[in-house]
């Protein structure tokens, strides 16, 4: 294995090989693994693989190099030094209560190509922007998540797209956890410039990986982060099929966001027939339901909703900024925040080239809506971390104070924790899926959704105050940041 040649030979000579090292298994056993996949390419002796739940395991402990711990150094599961990343990328830190990250501009955008816009998750910004970067020669490839269908049915497939046609095949969000970064070694092996699209935890891993293997630093030229509340445990697909009398092998294609925005989960079966995968109204209800039973505990301890360490962060425009409190961009738009100067520059270039349409929004609009969109991360996650610490579990360390929360939200966190524990049992999950697909539950979701605009308007004065108290500070310019030396504390 030639990867072993360039790694810690000194360690090998000094310590020899040892069987008694736990490395990634320890991250998994302590419930800290985000299932990002980065440890596989980091391993110099290629002994890390992933099981069907997307967890890493070591294939041959005897091969593990004692003293190497490279997989742990790049792992975002237990340590991500937010403060050091804030200083390195922006020279300032955001308010801990905002959990918004540092923002340069907030825009609502879409692809100007109508077909792409229709096929995309939100407004097709991500795919269009990547195609633009490739056409302009800014990148040679991009890490994206496609999918394929085999005898086991539909599965997600991370790959490096090297043409605009390949980029198109990866359009749309896939909401199950996948060891996405396992293909990073292709970027390491093949010179060129690359974009990476990823969830916030993917970007945490990339920043750590880049630090450990300097090679990738020049290769990854732009990071596009997806806002993320949660990604589901992979077993969700088998169980949703099972509760509806199907097997995964019956599914030829799965679209998590089919039809009008925000869309609904649609399965296309091997015989070409399409069917709603869950018998609930629309994507928001489906996601709330699936979150109850398939949200991994590590997601429930993740504080990064807005891909704080991306050049450009993107998500759905859940923006209620109209006098009636309804959504302002109900169809075919992507909300984006530019975070770094480089990201902002490239977005301006795409805008000037006419490949994206742009509505110039404001940080105020973003933050006022953010207060609600990120509530899961602002209120539930800190309490879940508090509860786990209290019970003696290991928890992720972000080197940042966590938002302050109320007693009421602590009680809610305890109830959610009990539900999480009950969700270990399959009969509980299956019963839940059945109950929530019943007519009564569908009616409940529908009524509740109808009240949200009114609640938003009632809450507006409080959210305005939230914005005033937590406005993100202006980031420093690239020139000022260039010489910043940052010490990451997990070392």
Ligand X SMILES: Cc1cc2nc3c(=O)[nH]c(=O)nc-3n(C[C@H](O)[C@H](O)[C@H](O)COP(=O)(O)OP(=O)(O)OC[C@H]3O[C@@H](n4cnc5c(N)ncnc54)[C@H](O)[C@@H]3O)c2cc1C
Residues that bind ligand X (CB under 6 A): 120-127, 144-145, 170-175, 180, 197-199, 226-229, 231, 314-316, 318, 334
Pick 58 or 170: Cβ nearer ligand SF4: 58
- Least distance to ligand SF4 from the beta carbon of 33, Å? 3
Residue 263 interacting entry, from ligand X, ligand SF4, none, C-beta within 5 to 8 Å by type: none
CA 242/CA 277 separation, integer angstroms: 10
Residue 27 interacting entry, from ligand SF4, ligand X, none, C-beta within 5 to 8 Å by type: ligand SF4
Work out the end-to-end distance of the chain between its first and last CA atoms, rounded to an integer number of angstroms. Answer: 27
Pick 58 or 180: Cβ nearer ligand X: 180
Q: Is 36 in the site for ligand SF4 (CB under 6 A)?
A: yes
Report the residue from 99, 116, 196, 201 that binds ligand SF4 according to the rule CB under 6 A: 201
- Burial class for 71, CB neighbours closer than 10 Å (0-12, 13-18, 19+): buried
- Least distance to ligand SF4 from the beta carbon of 31, Å? 11
Residue 64 interacting entry, from ligand X, ligand SF4, none, C-beta within 5 to 8 Å by type: ligand SF4
Residues 320-359 that bind ligand SF4 (CB under 6 A): none
- Least distance to ligand X from the beta carbon of 389, Å? 25
In a 3-state reduction of DSSP, which class is residue 191? coil
Q: Is 299 in the site for ligand SF4 (CB under 6 A)?
A: yes
CA 410/CA 383 separation, integer angstroms: 6
Report the residue from 41, 48, 267, 357 that binds ligand SF4 according to the rule CB under 6 A: 48
- Burial class for 78, CB neighbours closer than 10 Å (0-12, 13-18, 19+): middle
Residue 172 interacting entry, from ligand SF4, ligand X, none, C-beta within 5 to 8 Å by type: ligand X
Residue 194 interacting entry, from ligand X, ligand SF4, none, C-beta within 5 to 8 Å by type: none
Residue 313 interacting entry, from ligand SF4, ligand X, none, C-beta within 5 to 8 Å by type: none
The two beta strands, 356-360 and 141-150, are unpaired
CA 487 to chain centre: 25
CA 90/CA 88 separation, integer angstroms: 6
Q: What are phi and psi of 265, to 5 degrees?
A: -80, 120
Residue 227 interacting entry, from ligand SF4, ligand X, none, C-beta within 5 to 8 Å by type: ligand X
CA 426/CA 428 separation, integer angstroms: 5
Q: Is 70 in the site for ligand SF4 (CB under 6 A)?
A: yes
Pick 27 or 134: Cβ nearer ligand SF4: 27
Nearest to 86 by CA among 445, 416, 490, 476: 476
Q: Is 374 in the site for ligand SF4 (CB under 6 A)?
A: no
Using Cβ positions, the residue closest to ligand X within the complex turns out to be: 315
In a 3-state reduction of DSSP, which class is residue 270? coil
- Structure token pair of residue 369: 């809506």
Pick 227 or 398: Cβ nearer ligand X: 227
- Least distance to ligand X from the beta carbon of 177, Å? 8
77 neighbors 473 (Cβ within 8 angstroms)? no
- CB-CB neighbours of 482 under 10 Å: 8
Pick 24 or 243: Cβ nearer ligand SF4: 24
The two beta strands, 312-315 and 220-226, are parallel
- CB-CB neighbours of 191 under 10 Å: 10
Could you tell me the CA-to-CA distances from 413 to 82, 88, 230, 291, 476 in Å, in that order?
24, 33, 16, 14, 37
CA 34/CA 78 separation, integer angstroms: 9
Q: Is 243 in the site for ligand SF4 (CB under 6 A)?
A: no
Residues that bind ligand SF4 (CB under 6 A): 23-24, 27, 33-39, 42-45, 47-48, 56, 58, 64-65, 68-71, 75-77, 179, 199-201, 205, 228, 230-231, 298-299, 302, 304
């Amino acid at each position: 294995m030639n990867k072993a040649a360039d790694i810690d030979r000194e360690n090998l000579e000094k310590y020899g090989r040892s069987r008694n090292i736990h490395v990634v298994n320890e991250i998994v056993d302590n419930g800290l693994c985000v299932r990002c996949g980065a440890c596989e390419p980091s391993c110099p002796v290629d002994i890390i693989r992933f099981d069907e739940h997307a967890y890493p395991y070591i294939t041959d402990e005897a091969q593990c190099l004692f003293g190497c711990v490279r997989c742990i150094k790049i792992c975002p599961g237990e340590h991500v030094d937010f403060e050091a990343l804030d200083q390195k990328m922006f020279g300032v830190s955001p308010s801990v209560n905002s959990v918004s990250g540092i923002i340069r501009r907030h825009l609502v955008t879409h692809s100007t190509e109508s077909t792409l816009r229709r096929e995309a998750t939100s407004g097709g910004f991500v795919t269009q922007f990547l195609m633009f970067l490739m056409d302009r020669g800014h990148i040679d490839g991009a890490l994206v998540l496609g999918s394929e269908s085999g005898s086991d049915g539909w599965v997600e497939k991370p790959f490096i797209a090297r043409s605009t046609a390949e980029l198109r095949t990866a359009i749309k969000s896939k909401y199950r956890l996948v060891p996405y970064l396992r293909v990073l070694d292709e970027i390491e092996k093949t010179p060129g410039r690359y974009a990476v699209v990823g969830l916030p935890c993917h970007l945490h891993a990339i920043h750590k990986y880049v630090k450990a293997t300097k090679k990738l630093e020049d290769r990854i030229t732009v990071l596009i982060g997806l806002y993320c509340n949660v990604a589901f445990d992979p077993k969700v697909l088998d169980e949703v099929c099972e509760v509806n009398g199907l097997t995964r092998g019956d599914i030829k294609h799965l679209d998590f966001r089919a039809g009008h925005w925000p869309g609904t989960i649609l399965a296309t079966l091997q015989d070409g027939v399409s069917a709603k995968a869950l018998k609930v109204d629309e994507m928001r209800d489906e996601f709330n339901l699936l979150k109850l039973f398939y949200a991994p505990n590590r997601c429930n301890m993740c504080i990064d909703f807005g891909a704080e360490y991306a050049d450009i962060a993107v998500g759905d425009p859940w923006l209620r900024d109209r006098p009636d409190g309804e959504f302002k961009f109900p169809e075919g738009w992507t909300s984006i925040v530019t975070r770094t100067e480089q990201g902002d520059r490239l977005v301006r270039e795409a805008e000037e080239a006419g490949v994206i349409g742009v509505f110039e929004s404001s940080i105020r609009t973003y933050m006022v809506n953010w207060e609600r969109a990120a509530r899961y991360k602002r209120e539930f996650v800190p309490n879940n971390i508090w509860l786990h610490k209290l019970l003696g579990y290991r928890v992720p360390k972000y080197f940042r104070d966590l938002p302050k929360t109320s007693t009421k939200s602590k009680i809610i966190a305890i109830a959610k924790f009990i539900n999480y524990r009950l969700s270990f049992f399959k009969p509980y999950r299956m019963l839940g899926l059945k109950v929530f697909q019943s007519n009564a539950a569908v009616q409940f979701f529908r009524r509740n959704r109808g009240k949200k605009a009114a609640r938003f308007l009632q809450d507006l004065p409080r959210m305005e105050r939230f914005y005033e108290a937590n406005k993100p500070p202006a980031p420093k310019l690239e020139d000022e940041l260039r010489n910043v030396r940052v010490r990451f504390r997990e070392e």
